[in-house]
């Protein structure tokens, strides 16, 4: 009698360099791949609208690739622990393998599932597939975790180098009769009424094959200009790999392996380091999306929310060209260049005096790369309340930022040609008000 291996896919929607999948292949029993759509009942944060669009297409691509290789890929919906438990019983699986997640509720859920299955005699193993360095392995001299990036990254680089990526399997053997699967369309991950995803379709092709193509293209064509042009939103010099990493279509080990073989990749790799730092910070501070990392910011005197101002920011109707261009790029493509993310976030927090959490929620819903770590980590970084954060009184001036990083105005004219020209706030006055609010907070300490 066979005892199949279940590979539980989560944020690792790929075949190449997938250690959980590799372990299942090595076990030499039929493989059942599964993805569980949890409705949030386990305390997990549900993906936002743009991320759900990406998830739909990435799952469709992965399922096709698994099937082409002779495997089965199931979709099941419901509370994760119950779904996995039932699938093990139904298929008489002897093993369940997965790649680790690092958010608080995810870890709690996975630990519970692991313990329950082991009690039933099922082999359960988890693997490192999403981060180059496990969060508990990077420690300061006094055995604490790092709160400043530069020594953090230095410590990472002093550890044994990340392992080589694992090859992509050519064949997968599923059970003779495939267990039932949901229909992906029934999950309704795609927007319908209205269908706002036209810009996403124009911009992206989710799935592992397209991720590999983009990595190759970036390393060959764009990496040489990365250091000098990465801050210019119109230059097209960055990798656009963030959604690929978010959904695990591309493993950071593959990226590391391929990029370290190129000349001058240090700066690019240190950006991957920021991703690691964000995830390590979430591991040590699971409430990153809701609580100030620096507790003194709990006393920040946010004024009462003016919904019309928040709406003007969301729609790209602030009358500040670089801000409006960024917010319109985001709405249309599900993406925004990093420099512009910093400028739009700073404008919301410091010129509109709106709590960073409102901005984080909007990005969560509209970014295809929104993840549990990088999004709140960076919002807190801009707000000044986070790890190794920009100081609060560093207020980006969006006009000067545009002069410096969009000299010829290409980015603004691409995205904000027809935006309003009358600013909703005075940049100088609001900057002063923000600094005064910051002083009030400091005095409240």
List contacts with ligand FAD (CB under 6 A).
Answer: 230, 238-242, 245-246, 271-272, 274-275, 278, 337-338, 341-342, 345, 363, 367, 369-371, 374-375, 378-379, 382
Using CA atoms, how far apart are residues 420 and 320, in angstroms rounded to an integer? 8
Neighbours of 91 (CB within 10 A): 21
**In terms of CB distance, is 76 or 358 closer to ligand FAD?**
358
Q: How far is the CB of 58 from ligand FAD (least distance, A)?
A: 15
Here the tokens at position 129 are 């597939």
**In terms of CB distance, is 63 or 275 closer to ligand FAD?**
275
3 state DSSP class of 89: helix
**In terms of CB distance, is 327 or 367 closer to ligand FAD?**
367
| Residue 21 near residue 96 (C-beta atoms within 8 A) | no
Q: How far is the CB of 404 from ligand FAD (least distance, A)?
A: 17
3 state DSSP class of 76: strand
Q: How far is the CB of 25 from ligand FAD (least distance, A)?
A: 28
**In terms of CB distance, is 5 or 333 closer to ligand FAD?**
333
**In terms of CB distance, is 73 or 335 closer to ligand FAD?**
335
Q: How far is the CB of 278 from ligand FAD (least distance, A)?
A: 5
Q: How far is the CB of 369 from ligand FAD (least distance, A)?
A: 4
Q: How far is the CB of 142 from ligand FAD (least distance, A)?
A: 26
**In terms of CB distance, is 101 or 337 closer to ligand FAD?**
337
Neighbours of 257 (CB within 10 A): 16
Q: How far is the CB of 376 from ligand FAD (least distance, A)?
A: 8
Using CA atoms, how far apart are residues 97 and 8, in angstroms rounded to an integer? 6
Using CA atoms, how far apart are residues 373 and 276, in angstroms rounded to an integer? 9
**In terms of CB distance, is 387 or 425 closer to ligand FAD?**
387
**In terms of CB distance, is 15 or 342 closer to ligand FAD?**
342
Edge to edge, the sheet with strand 72-77 lists 72-77, 31-37, 5-9, 95-99, 123-127
**In terms of CB distance, is 97 or 253 closer to ligand FAD?**
253
| Residue 60 near residue 184 (C-beta atoms within 8 A) | yes
- Helix H or strand E encompassing 27: helix 19-27
Burial class of residue 78, CB neighbours in 10 A (0-12, 13-18, 19+): middle
**In terms of CB distance, is 368 or 419 closer to ligand FAD?**
368
Here the tokens at position 396 are 């980006």
**Backbone conformation region of residue 231, classed left if phi is above 0, alpha if psi is from -120 to 50, else beta:** alpha
First-to-final CA distance of the chain: 67
Q: How far is the CB of 295 from ligand FAD (least distance, A)?
A: 21
Q: How far is the CB of 222 from ligand FAD (least distance, A)?
A: 8
**In terms of CB distance, is 18 or 346 closer to ligand FAD?**
346
Residue position matching structure tokens 């003007």: 312
- Cis before 437? omega within 30: no
Q: What is the DSSP string of 108-151?
A: HHHHHHHHHHHHTT-EEEEE--S-SS-GGG---TTS----SHHH
Here the tokens at position 94 are 């002897």
Please state at what angle helix 307-315 crosses helix 356-366, rounded to 10 degrees.
Answer: 40
Q: How far is the CB of 123 from ligand FAD (least distance, A)?
A: 33
Q: What is the DSSP string of 415-437?
A: H-TTS--S-SS-HHHHHHHHHHH
Q: How far is the CB of 98 from ligand FAD (least distance, A)?
A: 21
């Amino acid at each position: 009698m066979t005892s199949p291996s279940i590979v539980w896919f989560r944020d690792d929607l790929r075949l190449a360099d997938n250690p959980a999948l590799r372990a299942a292949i090595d076990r030499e029993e039929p493989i059942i791949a599964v993805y569980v759509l949890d409705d949030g009942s386990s305390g997990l944060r549900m993906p936002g609208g743009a991320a759900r669009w990406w998830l739909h297409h990435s799952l469709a691509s992965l399922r096709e690739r698994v099937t082409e290789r002779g495997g089965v890929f199931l979709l099941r919906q419901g509370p994760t622990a119950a779904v996995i438990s039932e699938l093990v019983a139904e298929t008489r699986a002897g093993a369940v393998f997965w790649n680790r997640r690092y958010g608080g509720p995810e870890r709690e859920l996975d630990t519970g599932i692991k313990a329950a299955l082991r009690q039933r005699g099922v082999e359960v193993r988890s693997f490192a597939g999403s981060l180059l360095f496990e969060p508990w392995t990077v420690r300061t001299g006094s055995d604490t975790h790092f709160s400043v990036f530069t020594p953090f990254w230095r410590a990472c680089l002093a550890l044994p180098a990340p392992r080589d990526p694992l090859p992509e399997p050519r064949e997968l053997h599923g059970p003779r009769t495939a267990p039932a699967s949901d229909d992906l369309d029934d999950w309704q991950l795609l927007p319908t009424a209205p269908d706002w995803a036209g810009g996403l379709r124009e911009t992206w092709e989710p799935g592992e094959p397209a991720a590999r193509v983009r990595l190759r293209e970036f390393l060959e064509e764009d990496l040489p200009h990365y250091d000098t042009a990465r801050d210019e939103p119109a230059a097209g010099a960055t990798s656009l790999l963030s959604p690929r990493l978010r959904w695990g279509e591309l493993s950071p080990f593959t990226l590391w392996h391929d990029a370290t073989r190129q000349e001058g990749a240090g700066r690019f790799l240190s950006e991957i380091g920021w991703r690691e730092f964000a995830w390590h910070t979430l591991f040590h501070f699971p409430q990153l999306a809701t609580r100030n990392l620096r507790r003194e910011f709990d006393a920040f005197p946010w004024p009462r929310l003016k919904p019309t101002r928040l709406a003007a920011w969301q729609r790209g109707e602030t009358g500040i060209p670089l801000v409006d261009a960024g917010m319109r790029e985001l709405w249309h493509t599900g993406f925004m260049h990093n420099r512009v993310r910093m400028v739009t976030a700073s404008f919301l927090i410091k010129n509109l005096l709106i709590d960073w959490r409102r901005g984080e929620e909007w990005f969560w819903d509209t970014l295809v790369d929104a993840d549990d770590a990088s999004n709140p980590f960076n919002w807190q970084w801009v707000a000044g309340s986070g790890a190794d954060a920009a100081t609060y009184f560093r207020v980006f001036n969006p006009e000067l930022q545009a002069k410096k990083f969009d000299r010829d105005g290409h980015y603004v004219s691409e995205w904000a040609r027809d935006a309003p020209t009358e600013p909703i706030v005075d940049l100088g006055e609001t900057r002063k008000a923000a600094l005064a609010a910051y002083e009030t907070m400091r005095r409240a300490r």
